[in-house]
Structure 1
Amino acid sequence: MQTPPVVFVTGATAGFGLAITRRFLADGCRIVICGRRVDRLDALQKELGDLVHAIPLDVRDREDVEGAIASLPPAFSDIDILVNNAGLALGTLSAAHAEVDDWDVMVDTNIKGLMYCTHTILPGMIARGRGHIVNMGSVAGEFAYPGGNAYGGSKAFVRQFSKNLRADLIGTPVRVTYVAPGLSGGTEFSQVRLKGDEAKAASVYQDTQPLSADDIADSVHWAATRPAHVNINEITLMPVCQAPGPMAVHRGAKK
């Protein structure tokens, strides 16, 4: 009987990460859940049981990442699926007025954190001859919009990094998938981006039916459960109420 895989999920205490955890747990997978909020990790560990191993982790700290992964107990140490889910957007101001500190946090989390986890876990996958890395991106990585500057740029990096990572892995059985959700509700994304302004965060989804965290978890699970010879390179998904728009044209007086 095949041993259930080990899934390592960053940013697992809410939103996409928690939904992804629950989806794989339903298959009997062993899950390593990571996050910075220790109280939530403790509560989830108690709720989800022995198939889950919770570790406090700030993906922005390379030593923390390397130490946490090196110290995993044997039952959770051979990671089969890495879901690089930890990420965030901060602010909606134009580039000229954005807070550079916000840019730093987005780059450190969305780019460097993802690279640290990938670089630490990938050698073991190659050595064992199996593995799948799922990098969570955003439609903002492909479709630009005002105020998306550093966030969109960071997700464009994740998209291209995923493609280059797959190119590096040619000749190995390790798979790489990039998942780019569109408008998604039921998460803390907009509250974080708008720095706790719940009214503004709610207005983002007013009169829409956005994607749910479960929709995203289902797409990740589907990609990870294809036959071993199939690599899903990229998944882009939007709710039917959303679509890419036309290029912006400013019409003003000639100077």
Structure 2
Amino acid sequence: MKLTFAGTGSAFCMAAENFQSNMVLETTPLGDEQPQRLLIDCGSDARHSLRNLGHLPNDFDGVYISHLHSDHIGGLEWMALANYFVFDGHRAKLFAVKELLEPLWEHSLRGGLETSDHGNSQLSSYFDVVPLKAKDGFDWQDMHLDVIPVPHIVTSETTMFSYALFGHGAKTSFFLTTDAIFNPAAHMAFYQKADIIFQDCELGPRHSGVHAHYDELVTLPDDVKAKMWLYHYQAYDKPDAKADGFCGFIEPEQVFDLG
């Protein structure tokens, strides 16, 4: 099984050779010739970043959505319509926690997808929808994925959660933070348990408070940083992450062998 970063940039990434942080989890089941691919988030840049990897919308058997920002869902309308009109009605499974599905449709996708040549549509007209309970997680091929609510935006009125993933592979486990505030007390158990950590990391002079900033992450224990890769960064000059004890910054199209 391997994990490929289609892009490693932030929501507003304008770097010519980088895109938003969406990933492809891929495996070829024993006895099959065709790989099975799960797209982790499908942002506005997806049609470009996936093309660079050589993938078309019908190359995916599933899509996992961590939360409802456009760099994570902005490409779903493209994927739905391309699969319906161009790729013979190919259907992928859509994995998301149940609480995200209604606002995903009502506030993000309904305007562009409801009216179609087959009459009024809904989310299940385009995807095989799999509502998730965070406490249960889900299985993808031979890997179990825990779904972990992590605070992303915290205000006095509400908290917006993103849903991180902890993958249990046969040989390698990983923690993928998706979009999360710096919260070492809550994340330390996952940091310590994982063989490899994929951590969203903000750069630049402004600390937004909705992502972990490099200045915060550098304070983590050495044994945690030693297995942590950084992604979801802006197009600022990058610090020397390896000198600071990290594995480094992930580059676009970088592939990780998960065993």
TM-score in terms of structure 1 length: 0.37
Higher helix share: 1
Higher strand share: 2
